[in-house]
Structures are given as C-alpha cells and as structure tokens.
Amino acid sequence: MSIALGPLNSTISSLGVRKMIKVSRVVEACENVCLASAIIGSVVISVVGVFFRYCLGFSLSWVEEIAGYLLLAVITIGIGPAARAGSHLRVDMLPQLIPRSKKSLNLIASAVALGASIILLILSLEFVAGFLKSDRRLTSMYWLPEGFLLIVMPLGYLIAVYRFVENVVNMFKPATELSEKSK
C-alpha cells in the first residue's frame, strides 16, 4: 500500500526507478565480465592442457581442477542473467491452459525461485565458511585455499536473489515505468 503524496510520490517513484536501473546495469556489467572471463579462461586453460599433454607429452595437474572451478563460476553466476531474461526453470503448461492466470503464475514461479535462491545463498555461505575455516588446499596447487575458489557460489546466488527480487518488483510496476527501464 502506498501513501498518496501527489506529485512528490511520482518524483520519489521515478528516483527509485532510476537508482534501480543504475544498480541493475552495474550488476549486469559485472555478470558479463565475470562470465566472459570464466568462459575464456576455461577455454584457454583447456587448450593449454591439451597442448601440453598431446604435443609435449607433459600433463599439467592443475588444469582439470581450475577448469572445474571456472565451470562452477559460469553456472552460479549465470543464474542471474537467466533470471533477468526470464529463462529460469519453470513450467509453461499451466499458463497456456489458463491464459488469464499467466501473471499470477509468473509471480509464484519467481517467488519460488527467489526462495530457492535465498536457501542456496545461505547454504553456500555456510559451505564456503566451512572450507575457509578448515583451510583445505587444492591437491595440485597447495598454495591456493579451496574456499577462496568457492566464493563464486554465494556471489552467484546473491546475484540470483537480486535478479529474482527485481523480477518480482517489476511485476508490480506500471508499464510506463518498465518502458523507462529499457531506455
């Protein structure tokens, strides 16, 4: 429920929309940089590993581990852009059967995805904290704490929570505010 403040209400609302748009753009840029870096890094590391193994006859022990952690980064950070695009996992059969319920079903799907992302964020924070506390090290690169590489998990889930909150907020905005966002 909003309080009617006349012209001031629309000014406050437009300031909130502008701030949300700026934050969303910064988050999107960070997502893109992280995803591109992780994908390019994984490809480069894999090519180097193949070259060393098959051309030089020397196997690099750290290639598979680092490529696996980069894949984890792509998966967890990639949840945010999927949520932003509305391509997260959901069943589209019900809205097709009952077209009038599409908005409410999308709201329910986003709320469930938000709840799951919050749970995963909490669990991943506990998981990473346990690794950092135990000071486990990678077998092939003993100098690198494993918990440090796992920090991408809570980061990715935090981005997902932000994106699902953004989706839910956007469902309640008038179409005029949403068209401003695309400018």
Among residues 39, 66, 63, 36, the alpha carbon closest in space to that of 51 is found at 63
Q: Distance between CA 136 and CA 138 in Å, rounded? A: 7
Confidence of residue 8 (pLDDT cuts 50, 70, 90): very low
* pTM listed for this prediction: 0.77
pLDDT at 96: 67
Predicted confidence (pLDDT) per residue in 91-137, tens digit = 666 666 777 777 788 788 888 889 999 999 999 999 999 988 988 77
Average pLDDT over residues 36-51: 94
Q: Among 42-51, 86-95, 125-134, whose mean pLDDT is lowest?
A: 86-95
Predicted confidence (pLDDT) per residue in 161-179, tens digit = 999 998 888 888 766 555 5
Q: Average pLDDT, whole number, for the chain?
A: 81
Is the Cβ–Cβ distance between 34 and 75 less than 8 Å? no
Q: Answer whether residue 157 is part of any domain.
A: yes
Residue 57 has pLDDT above 50, yes or no: yes
Q: Answer whether residue 63 is part of any domain.
A: yes
Mapping DSSP onto H, E and C, the string for the chain reads: CCCCCCHHHHHHHHHHHHHHHHHHHHHHHHHHHHHHHHHHHHHHHHHHHHHHHHHCCCCCCCHHHHHHHHHHHHHHHCHHHHHHHCCCCCCCHHHHHCHHHHHHHHHHHHHHHHHHHHHHHHHHHHHHHHHHHHCCECCCCCCCEHHHHCCHHHHHHHHHHHHHHHHHHHHCCCHHHHHHHCC
Q: How many domains are contained in the chain? A: 1
pLDDT at 3: 46
Q: Answer whether residue 90 is part of any domain.
A: yes
**Choice between 7 and 102, residue whose per-residue pLDDT is larger:** 102
Q: Answer whether residue 7 is part of any domain.
A: no
Give the Cβ contact number of residue 19 at 10 Å: 10
Q: Answer whether residue 151 is part of any domain.
A: yes
Maximum Cα–Cα distance across the chain:
75
Q: Answer whether residue 65 is part of any domain.
A: yes
Question: Could you tell me what percent of the chain has a pLDDT over 90?
Answer: 38
Q: Answer whether residue 155 is part of any domain.
A: yes
Predicted confidence (pLDDT) per residue in 17-40, tens digit = 778 788 889 999 999 999 999 999
Confidence of residue 156 (pLDDT cuts 50, 70, 90): very high
> Inter-axis angle of helices 102-134 and 152-171, to 10 degrees?
160
Q: Answer whether residue 160 is part of any domain.
A: yes
Q: Distance between CA 4 and CA 12 in Å, rounded? A: 11
Residue 11 has pLDDT above 60, yes or no: no
Give the domain extent around 41: 16-179
